[in-house]
Amino acid sequence: MAHCIVKEAEKILDKPFKVLDKGFIRLVDYLGSDERIVQAARVSYGKGTDSVSKDEALIDYLMRQQHTSPFEQVVLTFHLKMPIFVARQWVRHRMGRMNELSGRFSVMQEEFYVPAKEDIDPQKKDRLERALEPVEPAEAAKIQSDLKKGQKKAYESYKDLIEKGLAREIARINLPLSLYTEFYWQMDLNNLFRFLKLRLDPHAQLEMRKYAEIILEIVRKVCPVATASFENIMLKQVAFNGEEIDALRRVLAGEANPLTGPKLDRFLTKVKTGHQM
pLDDT of residue 83: 98
Q: Which bin fits 2, alpha (ψ -120 to 50), beta or left (φ > 0)? A: alpha
> What percentage of the chain carries pLDDT values higher than 90?
70
pLDDT of residue 17: 98
The arithmetic mean of pLDDT across residues 26-46, rounded, is 89
- On the question of pLDDT at 49 being above 60, the answer is no
- On the question of pLDDT at 247 being above 60, the answer is yes
| Residue 181, strand partner residues | 82
b or e along 155-168 (b: 16 or more beta carbons within 10 Å of the residue's beta carbon)? beebeebbeeeeeb
Select the more confidently predicted residue: 44 or 244. Answer: 244
pLDDT of residue 131: 66
Q: Nearest-CA neighbor of 92 among 218, 182, 178, 195? A: 195
The pLDDT confidence band at residue 270, using thresholds 50, 70 and 90, is confident
The pLDDT confidence band at residue 259, using thresholds 50, 70 and 90, is confident
The arithmetic mean of pLDDT across residues 6-25, rounded, is 92
pLDDT of residue 50: 53
Q: Nearest-CA neighbor of 36 among 85, 69, 82, 67? A: 69
Greatest alpha-carbon pair distance for the chain in Å reads: 77
Dihedral angle of Cα 57, 198, 216, 60, to the nearest 10 degrees? 0
d(CA 29, CA 133): 38
d(CA 248, CA 245): 5
Where in the chain are the domains?
2-113+178-237, 240-277
Rounded to 5°, the CA angle 208-66-235 comes to 35
pLDDT of residue 156: 98
Select the more confidently predicted residue: 124 or 28. Answer: 28
The catalytic residues are: 199
One-letter amino acid identity for 85?
Answer: F
DSSP state of 202: T
- On the question of pLDDT at 210 being above 90, the answer is yes
Q: Class assignment of domain 2-113+178-237?
A: alpha beta
Segment 114-150, tens digit of pLDDT: 999 999 988 877 767 776 788 899 999 999 999 999 9
Dihedral angle of Cα 16, 84, 220, 188, to the nearest 10 degrees? 120
The pLDDT confidence band at residue 238, using thresholds 50, 70 and 90, is confident
